[in-house]
Amino acid sequence: MAAYDNNQAGQVSAVAGDEAALERRELGDAANLVDTALGYLLGSEQNVAVEGAEHADEEAPKPGVTVATAAQDRLRNWAEKELLTPAD
């Protein structure tokens, strides 16, 4: 699967003994296809936000802001750990 993702499936097949493998071409670069699809589906910015976790400085915090802020922090740490695409 990684060979297709890196557009090297023909090279891997050639090493495995398939003499005609280098004549075949994949239909585009799979990694570019995945990145493009994610860009169209998710947009250019992704932000983890929990309703009620953030408020303007001049506003009084609403009830439950502590729980919402903790949940938002956990989700943002998880997203960073999983190497999700950060916002620009």
**pLDDT, mean over the chain:** 76
pLDDT at 9 over 80: no
CB 76 within 8 A of CB 49: no
pLDDT at 37 over 80: yes
Is the pTM higher than 0.75? no
What pLDDT shows up at residue 4?
58
Q: Among candidates 45, 46, 44, 64, which has minimal Cα distance to 55?
A: 64
